[in-house]
């Protein structure tokens, strides 16, 4: 154990003995996400740095407090990147916060989610013990994959000390096409294209315009562009667009006072929501964003009707519950996992679900 790990383990054991809640905090860039922040602040940024990077093996291992921008810069020097395009939401974003939030960007539907790139972790649990799961190659993952379990847990299971991630080479070529289409036509098109051998890496529909990003070999991107048509965006404009989508700086993501930004996960073929408010559609139709003062009951009922679920991503009453309530069997599993990793319930209480 490192000096930091020993100090943190002692603090966790003392907090567990006194039943003192701890509010785990990295860069604070995703503090808006999930339930209300509660507990004694526990700063995690001091545990930072790259442990190992094997460019030829496409694997990197870093400490949880490592700035996300620093990791991306390191990978870029080797022509590599995090293919799930994690959002930063601020300059202080850390790798630990990236994993804990479990969020993926525009490329997720085609490249995979963050959890798909998790290889191994080093975790400090609620007993003050350091645990290791997984490894640094995909073949090490067997049985119940606890490394991926941590992705999206919002720090409720333990302190992420280290994480090993699979990385990929950057695409040789990219192009973004623009089409003027209504929502129904856009949904039909992206689903048709999704079933064809096209190098689609991201989609976005808003305000009657569909943007489609192509990534891959130069010949494949050019051939797909010629086949699909549309208006090609200049490279600088395309990069700015997808960065704005990833970081949610487009006007469609804005949350007005009293409003909520909802994220709905639906089958890609689901029809239009038919709800009031500003809407954006990503991931080939599988992720829908809805901003406005719409009742939570109405949004969740519509999501369920369409075969998905809804999350109050930004704004609103966080204490009322952010995530769609769990079915009884799933709630039992969550409680048992929480009990196994954090028996005293000290890590980020109420951040994932109000009851634990």
Q: How confident is the model at residue 117 (pLDDT cuts 50, 70, 90)?
A: very high
Q: For Cα atoms 97, 102, 108, give the angle at the middle one, nearest 5 degrees.
A: 125
CATH assignment of the domain containing 21 = 3.30.465.10
Q: Using one digit for the tens of pLDDT, what is the confidence trace for 144-192?
A: 578 899 999 999 999 999 999 999 999 999 999 999 999 999 999 999 9
* Cβ proximity of 51 and 163 under 8 Å: no
Same domain, 230 and 102: no
Q: Are residues 144 and 26 in the same domain?
A: yes
Strands (E) across the chain are located at: 22-25, 40-43, 50-54, 59-63, 80-81, 118-124, 130-134, 159-166, 168-169, 173-180, 200-206, 209-216, 231-232, 260-265, 278-282, 287-292, 309-315
pLDDT of the residue at 355: 85
Q: Please indicate, yes or no, whether residues 71 and 151 belong to a single structural domain of this protein.
A: yes
| Amino acid 145: pLDDT | 74
Question: What does the pLDDT look like over 219-235, one tens digit per residue?
Answer: 999 999 999 999 999 99
Give the DSSP H/E element, type plus range, for residue 293: none
pLDDT at 257: 85
| DSSP 8-state assignment for residue 306 | T
CA 82 to CA 152: how far, in whole Å?
17
Average pLDDT, the chain: 95
Task: Give me the domain span that covers residue 272.
Answer: 251-320
Residue 321 has pLDDT above 90, yes or no: no
- 303 occurs within a structural domain: yes
Positive or negative, the CA dihedral 48, 52, 53, 58 is negative
Name the residue among 64, 81, 61 with its Cα closest to residue 27.
Answer: 64
* Contact call for residues 334 and 353 (beta carbons, < 8 A): yes
Q: What is the pLDDT of residue 310?
A: 97
- Kindly state whether residues 164 and 237 are assigned to the same domain: no
Q: Which of 173-187, 202-216, 249-263 has the lowest mean pLDDT?
A: 249-263
Q: Which two tokens stand for residue 22?
A: 């701890």
Q: What is the pLDDT of residues 191-200, one digit of tens each?
A: 999 999 999 9
Per-residue pLDDT, averaged over 83-92, amounts to: 97
According to DSSP, the residues that pair with 165 across neighbouring strands are 60, 118
pLDDT at 142 over 70: no
> Do both 65 and 123 map to the same domain?
yes
Residue 136: per-residue pLDDT: 62
- Please tell me the distance from the alpha carbon of residue 264 to that of residue 313, in angstroms, as a whole number: 9
pLDDT tens, 34-79? 999 999 999 999 999 999 999 999 999 999 999 999 999 999 999 9
Q: Which of 175, 136, 131, 167 is nearest to 150 (CA)?
A: 131
Predicted confidence (pLDDT) at residue 102 exceeds the cutoff of 70: yes
Whether 194 and 144 share a structural domain? no
Say if residue 92's pLDDT is above 80.
yes
**Dihedral through CA 186, CA 244, CA 113, CA 339, nearest 10?**
-120
Please identify, among 247, 273, 291, the residue that sits at the C-terminal boundary of a domain. 247
Query: Nearest-CA neighbor of 30 among 83, 85, 102, 81?
Result: 102
Please tell me the distance from the alpha carbon of residue 312 to that of residue 308, in angstroms, as a whole number: 14
Q: Are residues 242 and 258 in the same domain?
A: no
Q: How many domains does the chain contain in total?
A: 3
Q: How far apart are CA 59 and CA 42, in angstroms?
A: 29
The alpha carbons of the chain give a radius of gyration, in whole angstroms, of: 21
Tell me, yes or no, whether 348 lies in a domain.
Answer: no
Same-domain check for residues 194 and 48: no
Do 208 and 255 fall into the same domain? Answer: no
Shared domain for 86 and 219, answered yes or no, is no
Mark whether 160 and 32 lie in a shared domain.
Answer: yes
């Amino acid at each position: 154990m490192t000096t930091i790990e020993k100090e943190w383990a002692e603090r966790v054991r003392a907090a567990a003995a006194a039943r003192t809640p701890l509010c785990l905090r990295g860069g604070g860039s995703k503090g808006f996400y999930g339930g209300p922040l509660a507990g004694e602040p526990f700063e995690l940024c001091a545990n930072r740095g790259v442990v190992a990077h094997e460019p030829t093996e496409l694997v990197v291992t870093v400490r949880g407090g490592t700035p996300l921008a620093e990791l991306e810069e390191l990978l870029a020097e080797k022509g590599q990147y995090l293919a799930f395009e994690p959002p930063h939401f601020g300059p202080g974003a850390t790798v630990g916060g990236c994993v804990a939030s479990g969020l993926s960007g525009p490329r997720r539907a085609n490249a995979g989610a963050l959890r798909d790139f998790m290889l191994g972790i080093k975790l400090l649990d609620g007993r003050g013990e350091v645990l290791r799961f997984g490894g640094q190659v995909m073949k090490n993952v067997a049985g119940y994959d606890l490394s991926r379990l941590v992705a999206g847990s919002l720090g409720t299971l333990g302190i992420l000390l280290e994480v090993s991630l699979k990385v990929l080479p950057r695409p040789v070529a990219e192009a973004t096409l623009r089409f003027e289409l209504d929502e129904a036509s856009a949904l039909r098109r992206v689903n048709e294209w999704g079933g064809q051998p096209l190098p689609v890496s991201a989609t976005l529909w808003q305000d009657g315009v569909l943007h489609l990003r192509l990534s891959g070999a130069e010949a494949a991107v050019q051939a797909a562009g010629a086949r699909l048509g549309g208006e090609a965006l200049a490279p600088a404009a395309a990069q700015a667009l997808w960065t704005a989508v990833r970081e949610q700086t487009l006007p469609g993501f804005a949350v007005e006072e009293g409003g909520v930004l909802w994220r709905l996960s639906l089958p890609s073929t689901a029809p239009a929501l038919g709800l009031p408010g500003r809407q954006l559609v990503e991931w080939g139709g599988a992720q829908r964003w809805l901003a406005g003062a719409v009742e939570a009951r109405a949004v969740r009922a519509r999501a369920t009707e369409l075969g998905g679920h809804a999350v109050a991503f930004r704004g609103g009453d966080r204490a009322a519950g952010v995530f769609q309530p769990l079915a009884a069997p799933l709630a039992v599993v969550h409680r048992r996992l929480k009990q196994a990793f954090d028996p005293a319930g000290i890590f980020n209480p109420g951040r994932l679900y109000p009851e634990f």
